[in-house]
């Protein structure tokens, strides 16, 4: 079982490492809303950090409803994707980054996205820390595995 967990963790980490962008899903009043976001993750996969302007819809949505989902995938937009692409779905909770953790996560984010320095430095940019509840990884078309970092029931249960 431990070996399987290590394998799933490795595969999830590979997908996260290989990608610069994720699709973030938020919602307001039951209306889903998705946005393309630059992201960075901690090596233990427990946290993902994103940043957004404070006048955006997604920012308002996150303040009202912290439960989020992210999609990160390796598709190349070819036929091969059906057997070769992997997609990671993240389920978690997004909260404004606490002041005392700014430095750690700013440097993590900038290591992945050095060109976004000016964006990140702007006082109108807000960073959110996503505490990951669990991951789902899909590959080989329909193989789906889950990695639970927090003990709990299924999100839809």
Partner 1 sequence: MEPIFLLDGERQLTATQVGGKAVALATLLKEGVRLPKTACLTTAAYRQFLHINGLSEKIQLELNTKEFSDMRWEEIWDISLRIRQLFLTTRLPTPLAATIHRFIAAEFGDVPLAVRSSATEEDAANASFAGLHDSYLNIRSREQLERAIRKVWASLWSDKALLYRQELQLSVGASAMAVVIQELLPATVSGVGFTHDPLDQHRMVIEAVHGLNQGLVDGDVQPDRYRLKREDHDLIDHLGPEARDRYAISSLEQGEGIEIASLPPEKASQEPLDRQKLATLVQTMARLEARFATPLDIEWCWAHDELHILQARPITAAAGERTDRRAWYLSLHRSFENLLSLWQTIEQQMLPAMEGEFEVMAAVVLTDLADQELAAAIRHRSARLSHWSKQYWDDCIPFAHGVRLFGEIFNEVMTPADPYQFVSLLSGEEMLSTRRNSMLHSLADQVRSRPEIGRQYTAGGFATIEDAGFCRGLLELEHQFGNFFRTQQAESEDSRDNLMKVILQYARLERTGEKQHQPARLELEHQFLTSLSESPLNMDGGQLLALARASYRLRDDDNVYMGKIEQQLALAVAEGRRRLVAAGYAKLKLATPEELAALLVGEQVELPEQLRQRAKSGPERERGGSPRTGQPAVRARQLPGQPASRGFCRATARVIEQPEQMAEFKAGEVLVVDSIDPNMTFLAPLAAGIVERRGGMLIHGAIIAREYGIPCVTGVSGVTGYIRTGDLVSVDGYLGLVIVEGGGASAAGTA
How many amino acids of this chain bind partner 1 (CB under 8 A)? 15
* CA nearest to 142, candidates 61, 67, 86: 86
C-beta separation of 73 from 36 below 8 A: no
Is residue 122 a contact residue for partner 1 (CB under 8 A)?
A: yes
Estimate the share of the chain in helix, then strand, then coil, as percent rounded to the nearest 5. 30, 40, 25
User: CB of 58: closest distance to partner 1 in angstroms?
Assistant: 11
Is residue 103 a contact residue for partner 1 (CB under 8 A)?
A: no
Question: Which CA distances in Å does 109 have to 73, 119, 124, 156?
Answer: 19, 11, 17, 31
User: CB of 52: closest distance to partner 1 in angstroms?
Assistant: 11
Is residue 64 a contact residue for partner 1 (CB under 8 A)?
A: no
- Distance between CA atoms of residues 154 and 113, nearest Å: 33
- Distance between CA atoms of residues 64 and 131, nearest Å: 16
Q: Out of 115, 143, 151, 154, which residue is the one contacting partner 1 (CB under 8 A)?
A: 115
Contact track, partner 1, 13-52, x by CB under 8 A: ----------------------------------------
**Piece in contact with partner 1 (CB under 8 A), picked from 33-41, 43-51, 53-61, 66-74:** 53-61
13 vs 126, beta carbon nearer partner 1: 126
The number of beta carbons lying within 10 Å of the beta carbon of residue 127 is 17
Name the residues that contact partner 1, by CB under 8 A. Answer: 53-57, 114-115, 117-119, 121-125
């Amino acid at each position: 079982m431990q070996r399987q967990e290590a394998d799933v963790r490795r595969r999830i980490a590979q997908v996260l490492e290989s990608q610069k962008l994720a699709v973030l899903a938020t919602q307001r009043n039951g209306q889903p809303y998705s946005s393309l976001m630059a992201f960075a993750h901690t090596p233990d996969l427990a946290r993902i950090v994103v940043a957004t302007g404070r006048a955006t819809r997604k920012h308002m949505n996150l303040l009202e409803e912290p439960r989020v989902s992210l999609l990160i995938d390796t598709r190349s937009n070819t036929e091969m994707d059906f057997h070769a692409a992997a997609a990671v779905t993240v389920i978690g909770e997004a909260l404004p980054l606490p002041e005392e953790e700014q430095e750690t996560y700013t440097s993590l984010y900038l290591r992945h996205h050095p060109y976004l320095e000016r964006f990140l430095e702007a006082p109108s940019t807000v960073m959110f820390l996503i505490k990951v509840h669990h991951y789902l990884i899909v590959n080989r078309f329909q193989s789906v595995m889950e990695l639970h970092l927090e003990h709990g029931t299924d999100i839809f249960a």
